Structure 1
Amino acid sequence: MTDDIWTIKELADYLKLKEKTAYALVAKGEIPGFKVGGSWRFRPRDIDRWITEQQEKNR
């Protein structure tokens, strides 16, 4: 089984950020995510799409 939803820690690891930085970006709405019971969750495909969008913006 693959993990289709990440926690904030998994997101931070994937993006090579500190968890505190990841929380700040998510809270500002800069990274796509959703809350489940008060905890942030992320779909890897949404994060990969967001990364692609960021790369295109910075060209």
Structure 2
Amino acid sequence: MADDIFTIQELAIYLKLNEKTAYRLASERKLLGFKVGEGWRFKPVNIEQ
């Protein structure tokens, strides 16, 4: 799982959040992620920290 990358949808499920909440937290830099084109990607290792 250490090499997996979450999409915003997968992250929302993982954290039990609404997708809009996950987008907001990512854009506010409260969730550590990176943009790929128009979408966000997240490393589970960074989320667990």
Calculate the TM-score normalised by the size of structure 2.
Answer: 0.89
Which structure shows the bigger proportion of residues in helix conformation?
Answer: 1
Partner of 1:19: 19
- The 3-state SS of whatever aligns with 1:35 is strand
- The 3-state SS of whatever aligns with 2:40 is strand
Residue 37 of structure 1, CA deviation: 1.2
CA distance in 1, matches of 2:29, 2:11: 14
Give the alignment of 1:1-59 within 5 angstroms: 4-49=4-49
Extract structure 1 runs of 4+ deviating beyond 6 A: none
Which structure shows the bigger proportion of residues in strand conformation?
Answer: 2
Render the CA deviation track for 1:17-54: whole Å, top value 9, x for unaligned. 000000011110100000011210000100011xxxxx
RMSD: 1.2
Q: Which runs of 5+ in 1 are unaligned?
A: 50-59
Calculate the TM-score normalised by the size of structure 1.
Answer: 0.75
